[in-house]
Every structure is written in C-alpha cells, then in structure tokens.
Amino acid sequence: MADTVHLKIKPKFIKKYRSGFPLIVSEAISNLKDLKEEGTIVKLVDDNNRFIAKGYYGKQNKGYGWILSKQEHEKFDMHFFKNKITSAIYKRKNLFSDEDTMAFRVFNGEGDGVGGITIDYFNGYYLINWYSKGIYQFRNAIIEALKDAVDYTGIYQKKRFDAKGQYMEDDDFVTGERGEFPIIVKENGVNFAVYLNEGAMVGVFLDQREVRKTIRDKYANGTNMLNTFSYTGAFSVFAALGGATKTTSVDLANRSKPKTIEQFSLNGIDYEAQDIIVEDVFQYFKYAARKQLLFDLVVLDPPSFARSKKNVFSADKHYKDLLKEAIAITEDNGVIVASTNSSAFGMNKFKGFIQKAFQEAGFRYKIVEEFSLPEDFRTIKEYPEGNYLKVVFVKKIK
Ligand code: SAH
C-alpha cells in the first residue's frame, strides 16, 4: 500500500474535524490531488502540519473516506479492528440474547468507529457490506478481527462499491460454513427468509424492525392494509399477523411476488387470501382511485430514487405528491405510515412534505408515531446525517 498521505485541511474546517466529524469531504481539503490509491492511510493536518486525525481514503457517494482515530501513531491492523468490533458486539448484547430476534446490525459504520463498512447478523451468519474500494483494502485485518471476535457459522460479504453485474464473486461467501438458502431468521417472533447469496438485497431491511413491530402490535388489527413498494412484503406479513383483515402488497419487481408468497407461507398465513400485485405503484394509485378503493392503513416506503417506465421518483422532489396519492385512498381516521431513507433531507423537512400534502389535499392530520434508526444502527452526534431513516405514522382526519 502507498505511503501515508498528508491532507491539508482548510482553516474553516479544522474545528469541525477536531471536534469529531468523521467524514473526509473534498471541500475541506486543499490537496485532493495527492490522493491516488484507495485504501491509503491519510493524516489530516493544519497549515502548520499539526496533526488533527487519521483515517483512510475511500470513495463513496458521501465523501472521500473516513477518520478512524485521533491518535497519530494508531495502526489500523487486526488488533485495532478487533477492539472496534468487540465493543460493537457488546453494545448489542441484549439483541444477541433475545430469542425472538435473530437478525440485526452488529456494526454500523462510523456509528461504531469505522465508516465505510457495516456488519449484519442473521442467525449465526455475519454479512459484511464494504462501501468503498478503500475500506476493502483492509479486508484481511477486518475479517480476521471478526473471526476472532465472534462465534460464527459463516461469513458473507457484499462489495457495494462494484458496478452492478461484475459483483458476484464466489456467491459472496467468505469463510466458515456455506449457508443453505434461504436461511430462516426470526424478528420479534416472525420468520423471514434470507438469501445472503443473491446480491445486495437479502430479503429484509433490518432498520425497520421497530416499525414492523409497531404496525403489528398497535395499528394492524381489523384494517384493510395497503403496502406500497412492498419488496418481500415484510410490512404486510406483520400487518396480517397483527390482525389485518386483508393486505395488498404492490411492487414493480417480478421477484416481489414469489418472495412475498414465501414470507407469508413461512408464517402460516394463507397468501391466497392476500393481494400481491406486481405493478408500478403510481399506476396502482390511479387504479385504486378509479375503483374507489379505500384503505385503513397505508405504508409508503419508496426508495430514495427510482426510475420506472412511466415515472421518475426522487424522494426530495416527489414525496409530497406520493403522499397526496395515498391520502386520496385512505379512509377517514386511517393511518399512513410515511417512510423514507433519503439522506437528502431531515425530519423537519419531511414533516413539511406531510403538512403540505395534507393541506393541498384538504384534510387535517395528526402525527401519532415517529421513528428514526433503531439502536443497533448506531449513529454518533458528530455525524447526525448518518441517521437517514425517517418514519412518521400520520392519521388522516376529516
Ligand atoms: N418496503 C420494503 C422495502 C422497499 S425497497 C420493505 O420493507 O421490505 C424498494 C422497492 O421499491 C423495491 O422492491 C423496488 O422494486 C420497488 N419499486 C421501485 N420503484 C417502484 C415503483 N414505481 N412502483 C412499485 N415498486 C417500485
């Protein structure tokens, strides 16, 4: 690996880095051109070459790498990563001993001290996500550290920095025993089928655990539920188990139908009593309005950005309109679960979209629940942008 590169930090950013900001951003650096090879160790210094912090160069859409330490002589070896992983595991000890939940995040990037990598746990299996070529240069040390720190059945990985298509290598298996997929994991007593060998989306988004539980325990009973952008139908499964009279799941992807059938079946729910529709959500809204369908519980969980044949959806531009479509087919006193994982805006702006949508639709509303990332998706106060999830339960009032 190349020698350490000294990055000169512009004066107005120095305070920010001294007080713990973890992300290396281009606007803060005067000699960006000195960065050549991802994985290079970088030292942040001021104009007088005084040490500020050190980390690594790795390109992500967010920035140019992450600070890992404020100790000038720290080495980023297996010992360093093992300390980070061990302390992250310790912070999840309640989840490890929870018999009803076997899937959660054990290491959340900068929230656990190493930006650019996450590790999830699925009933004995560990899944590492590498978010840059830079952090992937440390793979030997990190994998050795993980093997040393935990009891595992098997370890898998996703190289999230690779261009689509060229990324399946050895079906993402790293070490230990190969899984027989799907492996079945429980979350609050509910079964999920998980595939660690099929690309980045493994079957369940772990950050919505508390939202799913809340839907099942407090909102689903007796409702006619609509789940848009439903993927494997996780919200529908929880709603059905919570007593929804019927669920309707809508997703554009063909794979969503067999995957949703699989999740219902794993939980003893008759999928034929549910609607599972492969269609563009925006088309479905038109259909539902025409047929005057009304729902008591509507989940909106779009990707931050999506392009379909007829639509381009970008959460920061179009969420308000999406809400208006949902409001039109929600019963009075019905609840809309508005969710977004867009890091382009925060909770206040999101609530602004909600306010505007109801105002334009001519209805009053009441916010009845709010969620951000759960505890296992640790974030740090020096980098609140890391808390990307925003979920608001809104009751429509006539
Ligand atoms: N709510 C899901 C996760 C959604 S992931 C869960 O809790 O598991 C985003 C999903 O949106 C993907 O499955 C994708 O196929 C789907 N999608 C993207 N654009 C869409 C559109 N215009 N209409 C319907 N589904 C869409």
pLDDT tens by residue, 235-278: 999 999 999 999 999 999 999 999 999 999 999 999 999 999 99
Cβ pair 232, 261 in contact under 8 A: no
- CA nearest neighbour of 153 among 174, 124, 184: 124
Say whether pLDDT at 309 is over 90.
Answer: no
Q: What are the domain boundaries of the chain?
A: 5-69, 78-185, 205-397
Q: Is 232 in the pocket of ligand 1 (CB under 6 A)?
A: yes
Residue 251 phi/psi, 5-degree rounding, is -150, 145
Q: Is 273 in the pocket of ligand 1 (CB under 6 A)?
A: no
Q: Is 229 in the pocket of ligand 1 (CB under 6 A)?
A: yes
Q: Is 303 in the pocket of ligand 1 (CB under 6 A)?
A: yes
Report which ligand 1 atom has the smallest distance to the Cα of 205: 8
The CATH fold assigned to 5-69 is 2.30.130
Burial, 47: exposed, middle or buried (Cβ in 10 Å; 0-12, 13-18, 19+)? exposed
- What kind and span of H or E run contains 258? helix 256-266
Q: Is 201 in the pocket of ligand 1 (CB under 6 A)?
A: no
**DSSP β-bridge partners for residue 194:** 183
Report which ligand 1 atom has the smallest distance to the Cα of 307: 19
Question: Predicted confidence band at 164 (pLDDT cuts at 50, 70, 90)?
Answer: low
Nearest-angstrom CA–CA distance, 344 and 349: 10
Domain spanning 205-397, CATH architecture? 3-Layer(aba) Sandwich (3.40)
Place of tokens 């973890």: 22
- CA nearest neighbour of 91 among 78, 102, 80, 104: 104
Q: Is 253 in the pocket of ligand 1 (CB under 6 A)?
A: yes
| Candidate from 211, 227, 238, 251 with most ligand 1 atoms within 8 A of CB, to mutate | 251
| Candidate from 231, 237, 286 with most ligand 1 atoms within 8 A of CB, to mutate | 231
Say whether pLDDT at 165 is over 50.
Answer: no
Q: Is 251 in the pocket of ligand 1 (CB under 6 A)?
A: yes
- CA nearest neighbour of 8 among 28, 38, 36: 28
Report which ligand 1 atom has the smallest distance to the Cα of 301: 1
**pLDDT score for 171:** 75
Q: Which is it for the CA torsion 318, 322, 325, 330, positive or negative?
A: negative
Question: pLDDT tens across 327-376, in order?
Answer: 999 999 999 999 999 999 999 999 999 999 999 999 999 999 999 999 99
DSSP-based three-state secondary structure for 351 = helix
Cis peptide before 303 (omega within 30 of 0): no
Nearest-angstrom CA–CA distance, 257 and 192: 15
Q: Is 249 in the pocket of ligand 1 (CB under 6 A)?
A: no
**DSSP β-bridge partners for residue 127:** 120, 156
How many angstroms is it from 367 CA to the middle of ligand 1? 24
Question: Which region holds residue 163: left if phi is over 0, alpha if psi is between -120 and 50, else beta?
Answer: beta
Question: pLDDT tens across 116-155, in order?
Answer: 999 999 999 999 999 999 999 999 999 999 999 999 999 9
How many angstroms is it from 302 CA to the middle of ligand 1? 6
Nearest-angstrom CA–CA distance, 134 and 57: 6
pTM exceeds 0.75, yes or no = yes
**pLDDT score for 155:** 98
Q: Is 305 in the pocket of ligand 1 (CB under 6 A)?
A: no
Packing angle of the helix pair 281-290, 315-328 (nearest 10 deg): 20
Q: Is 280 in the pocket of ligand 1 (CB under 6 A)?
A: yes
Packing angle of the helix pair 78-91, 139-149 (nearest 10 deg): 50
Say whether pLDDT at 15 is over 70.
Answer: yes
Question: pLDDT tens across 169-213, in order?
Answer: 567 999 999 999 999 999 999 999 999 998 899 999 999 999 999
CATH of domain 78-185: 3.30.750.80
**DSSP β-bridge partners for residue 207:** none
**How many residues are given for the chain?**
398
Cβ pair 376, 360 in contact under 8 A: no
Nearest-angstrom CA–CA distance, 229 and 278: 10
